[in-house]
Structure 1
Amino acid sequence: MPTNPLAYLGQQLDELKAAGSYFRLRELESACEAVSHADGREVINLASNNYLGLANHPKLKEAALEAVRKYGAGTGAVRTITGTLDMHMALERKIAAFKHTEACVVFQSGFAANAGTVSAILSPEDHIISDELNHASIIDGCRLSRAKIHVFRHRDVAHAIEKLAALKDEPGRKLLITDGVFSMDGDIGPLDQLTEAAEAHGAIMMVDDAHSSGVLGRNGRGTVDHFNLHGRVHVQVGTLSKAIGVLGGYVCGSKDLIEFLYHRARPFLFSTSHPPAVTAACNAAFDLLVEEPERIEKLWDNTRYFKAALKDKGFDTGVSETPITPIQVGEAKMAHAFSAALFEEGLWATGIGFPTVPKGKARIRAIVTAGHTTAHLDQAVEILAKVARRMAILP
């Protein structure tokens, strides 16, 4: 009998199990809302990125249904062949106007937007100065570009400036890149200071606003608006999969940038375009950001309430400044066991460990949304405290 050349994968899975890092996919059996049904039980959902509760909004669903009736289920091609619908262009114009930029291009995911953009606009002769905790999609885009990568300490502007200064006489373009909100710790990138550094050193400034789109700035315009940097950040990446409640990513910037990405961004060139239902729902979501700003106010009210309640119970939430609320545990095995025990008590909150976060810094990542009520949050905190005491995470 022939040997199995993939046997090593099973061995590595066994190692994950031994380390306590193995997981199985939970099955969501309802719409993604503040209280969801998953794996046969009702749970308070603190695991999703559905910040504004739009994923099941009636206006998004109706827009999606109308689009299917008019355009069908799929587009049949990539954007550069027959896959560009009039609604794709309308969505890009709407996002560009919302973000106060000249133009926008929509990608199939936020990951594709980051990876496709960085790899398209840079070459091996160029340099990237990147925060050490930037998202994996940024890291992959940097690697795909084959540019020289220079990593600065997390949110350390002085270190970023030091990296830029050392490249003063080096040939090639320089790109300074940061997350707007960091997805694991929930802290805000110092975009204002980094932008000043980029300007002083003639660098391209790029921000990934995946976790700040719909969360920070007026009507959720992101960190560029939060810091009042319109016109100074050259490349803005956002997502349609989190606060917008649907699927996809986008890049905003100058007309030249967007036209160039139409021609050279590989995920755009080689992936079938968004289906009509997704595109229409995204369009409706941006209307709601403008029409219902109270959703963002509710999100932040819930965030402050939840963090204060966790602090009162003795939990360590690190340096979080946003709805992303890490509950520090330490070791990955404990974090995953804690998450499993919480689920059994009716709370869905994800355990995260190495390699997503450094060894010894595993945590439960909880994300409140505008859809949660005070009662939901009170119950969630009580479950967290009860299970944490039982597992000796809290005294």
Structure 2
Amino acid sequence: MSNRFNFKINARDGKARTGQIEMMRGNIQTPAFMPVGTAATVKAMRPAEVAATGADIILGNTYHLMLRPGAERMARLGGLHQFMKWDKPILTDSGGYQVMSLSSLRKLTEEGVTFKSHIDGSKHVLTPERSMEIQRLLGSDIVMAFDECPPNGVDQKQAEKSMALSMRWAKRSRDGFNSGEEHAARSALFGIQQGSLDERLRGESAAALIDIGFDGYAIGGLAVGEGQEAMFNVLDFAPEQLPDDKPRYLMGVGKPDDLVGAVARGVDMFDCVLPTRSGRNGQAFTHFGPINIRNAKFAEDQGPLDEKCVCPVCGGDGSKQGMSSGWSRAYIHHLVRSGEILGAMLMTQHNISYYQILMANMRKAIAKGEFAAFQADFNRDYFGG
């Protein structure tokens, strides 16, 4: 086994798998959810609090960190881990998603993408080679290949053209990654499958990526507005087009029921801004479905956000804080309605904890061969609560 990157599957239950990724900065239990730390911070949480939820890895974003504080400056400051005081693995997005999401501010060519900064309008060029360089300067543990993520609803011709471009960029990403020999010796590179909703195109993309060779494989181009049914239709075939012995990462997903459905279809890794963004906007995820803590009915509710949750916010480990329980719905309702920063902090901590508890429970169910029963219980509680 290389201590650079190793993936092993410990148990299977249907298509669902549980295992671990072993890296120099620590192990990642799969299925895994990666909290999003776009700008070198998981919003409203300190790194130690993120780790305490059970997160083994977080995500940073190449595009945003390239603009501020800048990759070269980050390197001078000791890299992303040192900068934000996170000593576990970090996966960095390549910036490819911004090719789509910031389409009004960019120009796309074979060479790469020319962006106008959404911060100050300054001009930047992002190519596969520059993306690899930035991620190397950041000190990323899992580097993502640079790709184009087409928007939802593109026609077959455009989807094919976009996929072919991403595969050419994937080869350039591999070459660029390999050129940073010292960084490549202690990090991993993931390729990104594209092809919109088309099974043939995704099969061709997978074959091209496998021919290039990557440590892991992401399923890109989903969670862009196609809806859960269409996403699941793709996941019925896409994961199996990728190598069985490598981790499969579904990018940008998602809601708790998205995660459960994707794990059932063979996905190993996830990231999404939803738990942090929702927390800041008053939505808490619970075992019995999401709640809007702003609602007046919670103004005098002395129960926890989630009676089945064991996180500190809900009182699951209150003894460690020298108190018998966590904070009530009424108190958090007051904080959020008053615009108090603590409200966003508590809601975010609960949501990230809930996601990590969900992943841990899925890992246990797969190990026991009880995933189908777990999924049925989850759906009953989450949609019936």
TM-score by length of 2: 0.29
Specify the structure having the higher radius of gyration (Cα): 1
- Higher relative contact order, structure no. (Cα contacts within 8 Å, ≥ 6 residues apart): 1
TM-score by length of 1: 0.28
